[in-house]
């Protein structure tokens, strides 16, 4: 009798782990202008390449994430060029030289251009993550797990159907 109780307890815990464990498969995206676009899956932080290999089976999600990666890279390059053009005259002024403030203004303009590019990268990253997570929800809804308590002529027990 005690062995059956332990077995039943194990089955309940095991099956609840299977049923509720599927919810952790979702992908999340976190963004910050200074730290960029970060992804998280099952508690692990992922970069763009790792995320792309994860969502590779979902073509729509992968397309959005590839666009996001390209836009994020472009934004970083444009922002770095703008930052260089801003930093050069500031460094010259700090060093006691005669700064070219026109270069500073051009750099500020270039740096501002990187902001909408970055915002577009964030939008596409979120779209890709949403497409991936919706694909998981569809997959999980097709898997019907069921745990029932049954009584038969040979005894009582738990029945797990999937």
Which residues, at least 6 apart from 30, have a Cβ–Cβ distance to it below 8 Å?
37, 38, 39, 40
pLDDT at 43: 86
> Tell me, what's the pLDDT at 18?
43
Euclidean distance between CA atoms 70 and 98, whole angstroms: 38
Q: What digits encode the pLDDT tens for the residues 18-62?
A: 444 444 578 999 887 678 899 999 888 998 999 999 999 999 999
Average pLDDT over the chain reads 81
3-state secondary structure of 41: strand
- In this structure, what token pair is assigned to residue 29? 């995206």
pLDDT of residue 15: 47
pLDDT tens for each residue of 72-104:
999 999 999 999 999 999 999 999 999 999 999
């Amino acid at each position: 009798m005690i062995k059956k109780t332990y077995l039943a307890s194990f089955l309940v815990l095991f099956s609840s782990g299977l049923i509720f464990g599927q919810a952790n498969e979702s992908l999340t995206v976190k963004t910050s202008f200074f730290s960029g676009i970060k992804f998280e899956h099952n508690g692990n932080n992922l970069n763009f390449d790792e995320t792309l290999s994860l969502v590779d089976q979902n073509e729509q999600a992968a397309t959005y994430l590839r666009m996001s990666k390209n836009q994020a890279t472009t934004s970083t390059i444009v922002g770095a060029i703008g930052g260089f053009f801003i930093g050069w005259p500031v460094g010259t002024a700090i060093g006691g030289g005669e700064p070219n403030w026109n270069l500073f203004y051009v750099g500020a303009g270039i740096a501002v251009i990187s902001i909408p590019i970055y915002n577009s990268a964030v939008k596409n990253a979120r779209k890709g993550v949403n497409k991936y997570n919706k694909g998981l929800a569809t997959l999980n809804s097709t898997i019907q797990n069921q745990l029932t308590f049954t009584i038969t002529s040979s005894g009582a027990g738990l029945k797990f159907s999937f």
